[in-house]
Amino acid sequence: MPDVLTADPIITLLQAKEWGNINDDQTAIRLINVVSAKFLAFTQRSRINDGTVDEYVFPLDGNTAFSFTRPIAADPVVVIEYTRSGATTTYAEDSAELFVDRVRGRIYKIGSSWTIGTGFPSLRLQYEGGWAVAPADVVVGALAQMKIEQQRLVGTVGYDSVTVGGDTVSPDRDSVIKEAAEAWKPYRIMAR
């Protein structure tokens, strides 16, 4: 069964094939899927490209929560608050009770505190999130990571351990390389 390109790819099939000098679509698709998953895991985001986001989050304090993807500026954010008793209250971004900092993905309730439920995220966020076009540094980091993944795929890099001068080092074979980590770090969502 052929591999299917993820619905939320970090780079295009054409970019992967050109940058990686790959003639085989299946190899390029596998690499895109791996790098896309690594980007999402590293940055703790829920989306790369623009699309509908429906996520549950915990409020961090009395009146602040953070989305896992930055909302796109033109589209409204809707917050559904679940109380301990199971009741819900819906807030729209254009109301006087809700402020959305789109740069940081911060959702702020004005004038009162969020209900902080026990054992479950008490806020449901619905919005359009992600990028219409991924930033150039995100793409450059993805292409650099893809080159290493391509080498891992054919077994030319990666090892379980190596001994140098009596010291044994065991690297994480599945980690994000330094170049990609540096490119992606500004887009990492720290509040979860």
The string of pLDDT tens digits covering residues 158-185 is 555 555 555 554 444 558 999 999 999 9
Strand order in the sheet with 106-109: 64-66, 106-109, 98-101
- Between 77 and 156, the more confident residue is 77
Delimit the domains of the chain by residue range: 13-47+134-159+174-187, 51-129
Mean pLDDT along residues 143-163:
75
Q: Which helix (H) or strand (E) holds 30?
A: helix 25-43
How far is residue 147's CA from residue 106's CA, in Å, rounded to a whole number? 34
**CA distances to 76, 79, 95, 114 from 91, in Å:** 11, 5, 7, 11
Angle between helices 13-20 and 136-153 (to 10 degrees): 60
**CB distance 184 to 42 below 8 Å:** yes
Share of the chain above pLDDT 70, in %: 84
Q: Model-level pTM?
A: 0.77
For residue 55, give both structure tokens. Answer: 């996520």
